A and B are shown apart, each in its own frame.
Chain A
Amino acid sequence: MTISKFWQLEIKSFFRAPQWEVAVIAKIFIALFGIYLFVTIMAIGVGAYYIIEKVFPDELTTSLINQGIFFAFLIEFITRYFFQQSPSTQVQSWILLPIKKRIIINNLLLRSLINLFNFTPWLLYFPIAVVRVIEGTPWTTAFIWFAHLLCITLILNYLIFFINKSHRFLISTFVLILLGAGLEYHTDFSFYRNFALALEWLEQNPISLLLSCGTLVLIYRLAYHYLKARFYLDMGLAKKSEKVLQLGFAFLGGYGMLGAFLKNDLRLLLRNARPRQILLLTFFFLFYGFLFFTMDMYKTNAVMLVFASMFITGGFSLSYGQQVPSWDSEYYGLLMTQNLTYREYLESKWWLMASSVIITLILSSFYLILGWKFFLIVTAGAIYNLGIGSFINLYSGAFHRVPMKLNVKAKAFSNTQAFNVTQLLFTIPKLGLPVLVFLIADFFIGGYAGWFALIIIGSMGILTKNLVLNHIAKIYSSGKYKTIEAFSKN
């Protein structure tokens, strides 16, 4: 059994997965997106040096870049914590086969290198190093500088193995960051400045490469032994025992069937890895507006503002709604044999999405500091999301028959589960319709008419809710057997 055998199995698991054709198309789109991202990051890498030089002509460019890299590592570390998957769950079936543990573990550790995070040094730091050489830095110095950064990235990659899924670690990191920020603010001590100084010292002393590479080798060895010691079903390979997250949703008890379903959906969101990612995403969407409302380039572009108004309050509705039956795919058979109708089922989903819109709208009141006009934009988007967006999302969900493993995190850039061509096509009305409505009203009346048009058609949607839900329920109902069959391939 060699490493290449593992890869052959990997390829088989891809082509023999249900709906692998869809997965291929999804991979192509993801690859295109990846190339786009690649080019953008490269451009940032190349441009960064000159931009910084131009914006801060008085300061040392390299020093500023080094300071920026400190924050880049901080962000990378936190994102890794959330998105880098522990690979140990995939090896359970190997453990009994006559393959040396050494090979399995090394394969695991090497495979973890194929990860978007580990390409960032090549995309971001390598171009900067090249530009530095062009600008007169000796190439040996630039090379050592880059080698250090590469080592740090890989050290982070293996560090994640030790802290995977430890909430205690996450909390202590946040406390440390807060303390650090306090230190930065109140004293002369500065982490990022010292980090930059350290990097400058390191690149001047070639011998220091031994230190970085040594640390990398050491952490690889440690990760190896860490995994080897836990290579038993009841240890590292075991699913972590979970504590029951008990939240009182007693107030929902008074709403009968609807309350029972909402209660379940809230538990679904909080107790499973996949939905928790959606919640995190919703939180990020909330701040999306700052990107659009503060940049001159976007502030004056009405279409961009419509997008922003859709995303700020619609993040949850978009990402949850389009996968509505999939969330319940693990126990779809149960729901289909219980005493409940699709109408009741969809109604509870709609209320969940509606609540998310209202909660995010309340939270987004901080946009008032930018001026009441921006809050009007957010409110208009919210009402549109309530009355029209939520229904389109539920409607598109009817065609999303992909089983979902609730408690397995979606991997960044390999998430073909949530991807599907129909969903891609649905993005056109999802984003195009509000823009169209806005532009028509804006063209014929002008002023704030575009925003009020969104409010009006959103309100109309809310008023005709029952009619629309009945119609969507019919579509779900007609696809019932297809959906059950697809979900049974979970």
Chain B
Amino acid sequence: MILIENLTKKYEDKEVLNIPKLSIKKGEKFGLVGNNGAGKTTLFNLILDLVKPNSGQVLNNDIALNKSEAWKKHTAAFIDESFLIGYLTPEEYLYFIGQLRGVNESQVDSWLEQFQVFFNDEVLGQKKYIRNLSKGNQKKVGLVSTFLGNPDCVVLDEPFANLDPSSQIRLKDIIKKQIENHNTTFLISSHDLNHVTDVCERIVLLEKGLPIKDLTTDSDTFGQLEAYFKA
């Protein structure tokens, strides 16, 4: 699904990311961990063609990002609040995203029913603009929007941050269900080792822009990661 080759990114001569090779299979649940400044968001921004690499390239479904924009059809992402349109209501926002992905308004309405518990009656039908929702509820709108139209590849930066404990658990269930039903490829970064080992089958650990560990999740993974971060 995603193939990264010799990818580097520098900011003013300081290399912030250097990935010789990384291949993510279709339907893989891929987790990214690392301390602040390790390059997680930079990597996601490169995968989404939001920043220009200094060398190397990213292929999404065999499409080179710098050659064609066709990858946007099957990819969705939520990185931060700049992926929300503040002056729309959650409904309007989801209809808009739906329209871009070929899902009409009534389809969006019936599709949204499955998220009722996750939204906890605080998001839909509130007659509020997204900019007036709490941080947590804003995040829920953004996260849910990425599943709209069932894209093949979903990129989520820190999806669990800012959510209350119940919502974190519900989000994990939603992600798992999405993977089961649609074989979605997930790229998730997180500081929460518990959640990330629970959801992802493969975890890459970044340190100062370099992938230093590539683990297949098993019962030891959590301990291994904890040992690394303790040191």
Q: Measuring CB to CB, which residues of chain A are less than 8 angstroms from any residue of chain B?
A: 239, 241-244, 256-257, 260, 263-264, 267-268, 271-272, 330-334, 336-341, 406-407, 481, 484-485, 487-488, 490
Check B86–A331 contact: CB distance below 8 A. Answer: yes
Inter-chain CA distance A278–B111, complex, in Å, is 38
Q: Which of B41-61 contact A (CB under 8 A)?
A: 48-52
- Say how far B92's CB is from chain A's closest CB, in angstroms: 7
CA A141 to CA B110, docked complex, whole Å: 76
Query: How long is the Cα–Cα vector from A104 to B30 in the complex, in angstroms?
Result: 51
B87–A333 CB distance below 8 A: no
Which residues of B lie under 8 Å from residue A243 when comparing CB positions? Answer: 127
| Docked pose: A263 CA to B131 CA in angstroms | 18
Interface pairs (20), CB distance under 8 Å: A239-B132, A242-B129, A257-B100, A271-B129, A272-B87, A331-B84, A333-B79, A333-B83, A334-B84, A336-B49, A337-B50, A337-B75, A337-B76, A337-B83, A338-B72, A338-B97, A341-B69, A484-B51, A488-B82, A490-B82
From known contacts A244-B128, A333-B83, A406-B87, infer whether A264 and B51 are also in contact, taking CB-CB under 8 Å.
no
Q: Which residues of A contact B84 (CB under 8 A)?
A: 331, 334
Main secondary structure of the interface of A (DSSP, over half): helix
Q: Are B83 and A334 in contact (CB under 8 A)?
A: yes
Q: How would residues 66 to 80 of chain B score, 1 for a CB under 8 Å from any chain A CB and 0 otherwise?
A: 000100110111011
CB of B89 within 8 Å of the partner chain: yes
Q: Indicate whether B64 reaches chain A with its CB closer than 8 angstroms.
A: no
Please determine whether B83 and A330 come into contact, CB atoms closer than 8 angstroms: no
The CA of A337 and the CA of B84, in the complex, are separated in Å by 12
Chain A neighbourhood of B73, CB < 8 A: 339
Give the tally of cross-chain contacts (CB within 8 A).
81
B24 CB within 8 Å of chain A: no
User: Which residue numbers of B lie inside 8 Å of A, CB to CB?
Assistant: 48-52, 69, 72-73, 75-77, 79-80, 82-89, 92, 96-97, 99-101, 127-129, 131-132
Residues A485 and B51 in contact in the complex (CB < 8 Å), given A330-B82, A407-B87 = yes
Q: Considering only CB atoms, which chain A residue lies closest to B76 in the complex?
A: A337
CA distance A488 to B127 in the complex (A): 29
Set of chain A residues within 8 Å of B76, measured between Cβ atoms: 337
Q: Is the Cβ of A244 less than 8 Å from the Cβ of B127? A: yes
Q: Quick one: closest B residue to A340, CB to CB?
A: B100
Q: Which of A331, A337, A487 has the most CB of B within 10 A?
A: A337
* A332/B82 in contact, CB under 8 A: yes
Say how far A58's CB is from chain B's closest CB, in angstroms.
57
Neighbouring B residues of A242 by C-beta, 8 Å: 128-129, 132
- Chain A residues with Cβ below 8 Å from B77 are 337
Q: Which of chain A's residues have a CB closer than 8 A to the CB of B48?
A: 333, 336-337
A371 to chain B, nearest CB (A): 43
